[in-house]
Amino acid sequence: MKQDTLITHSGRTSPYFAQSVNPPVYRCSTVTFPSMAAMAEAQADHLNAFYYGRIGTPTTHAFEEAVAAVEGGERCIAVPSGLAAIAGTLSALLKSGDHVLVSDSVYGPTRTFCQDVLAKNGVQVDYFHPLLAENIEVLFKPNTKVVFCETPGSLTFEMQDIPAIAKVAHAKGAIVVADCTWASPIFYRPFEMGVDVSVLAATKYIVGHSDAMLGTITTSEELYPVIKSSVVKFGYSVGSEEAYLGLRGLRSIVPRMKQHQESALKVARWLQTRDEVARVLHPGLPEDPGHELFKRDFLGSSGLFGVILEPYPEEALIPMIDGLKLFSLGFSWGGYESLITYTTPGIVRNTVLWNADGPTLRLHIGLEDPDDLIADLEAGFERLNAFGG
């Protein structure tokens, strides 16, 4: 089946759902069994069976089935957040004495987890420049078990050559884990690129409405029991309401992603014409250094991109941002609303420094009319220039 059909029909076949179109919300903790034999059978297969609410319900199973189908993986594990997906996966695949290579452009909480949890528990963590491609081979050690990528990075939007990295990693016996949240499963097919485990902050484009915390880990049949058992031991549990909201959001993700993409590109191209802007960080633009990799590997882009301004003082951003009417100041992204935030990607780099003379902003373009968003930003630039004048 093609993608639109999979999105519409996946996760709807359980006998628990009777004839309902949408899988209902199953609120449950305790599951009862008709006999001791049935209980023992469920316990033996507890990673897959309807055994206990913390491990899964018919609603969470439906959500997992749908995400696995849409991402092109074999199995999916729902977890409480994107960070839980990252932490659960890396904890399952790494132990004390192992070595992990992590892209230097990763999401801040990923870096914090690697430094404050993995490293403190005996895992060797090294960061690689996101543009290394096959040259990453020089960083491998005999104990390198995992390479963690994020493409593009959600602050600097640097593109990574995932197929080249995966080829080297697999030749060395390492597993490739990738945070694929930016483009969503609609515009990026991680398993076709050589990724072994795809993690998503489903909080973002899958939920799509900024009203639920949710993460997913999609992988192969071989790695599923390894990661699932670790997730269960950590006590990660997804409420059925959140799984329901994720499943409902997934049904409408295609038209939403198309609008996010179209509107973001329009705003980004307008920003390129502004004297206040030094550079727009968006791999979907032909002028972006990562555009050729983007064209090769991606089916489309999202609503998230960055902007480097000319050298304005940071205090000049206050009237610009605080006075915006349609852009809200907030973390996260992927909902229907537009967001803006000030970022400082240079302060966390471990490899080649990230140099920008002016302040950096990150924008998420929501589902508003892009012309209205442009007018809001234009008024913001007027305030920026008035402060500077």
DSSP 217-267: EEE-TTTHHHHHHHHHHHT----HHHHHHHHHHHHTHHHHHHHHHHHHHHH
Other residues' Cβ atoms within 10 Å of the Cβ of residue 22: 14
Contact 330, 203 (CB under 8 A): no
Dihedrals φ, ψ of 341, to 5°? -155, 150
**Start-end of H helices in 274-341:** 291-297, 317-322
- For the beta sheet containing 277-281, the strands, ordered from the edge strand earlier in sequence to the opposite edge, are 277-281, 304-309, 360-364, 339-343, 328-329
Q: How far apart are CA 244 and CA 253, in angstroms?
A: 14
DSSP 25-40: P---S----SSHHHHH
Beta pairing class for 328-329 and 75-79: unpaired
Catalytic position from the list 27, 45, 54, 325: 54
Q: For the chain, how many helices (H) and strands (E)? A: 13, 12
Q: In the block, which residue shows the tokens 């973390």?
A: 331
At position 185, the amino acid (one-letter code) is P
Q: How far apart are CA 242 and CA 63, in angstroms?
A: 10
Question: Is 258 annotated in the active site?
Answer: no
Catalytic position from the list 98, 104, 161, 179: 179
Question: Is 107 annotated in the active site?
Answer: yes
Count, residues in the chain = 389
Catalytic position from the list 75, 111, 145, 204: 204
Contact 63, 247 (CB under 8 A): yes
Other residues' Cβ atoms within 10 Å of the Cβ of residue 381: 16
Question: Is 349 annotated in the active site?
Answer: no
Question: Is 204 annotated in the active site?
Answer: yes
Q: In the block, which residue shows the tokens 């205090």?
A: 315
Q: How far apart are CA 54 and CA 38, in angstroms?
A: 19
Other residues' Cβ atoms within 10 Å of the Cβ of residue 174: 23
Contact 368, 307 (CB under 8 A): no
Catalytic position from the list 26, 51, 104, 107: 107
Q: Which residues are catalytic?
A: 54, 107, 179, 204
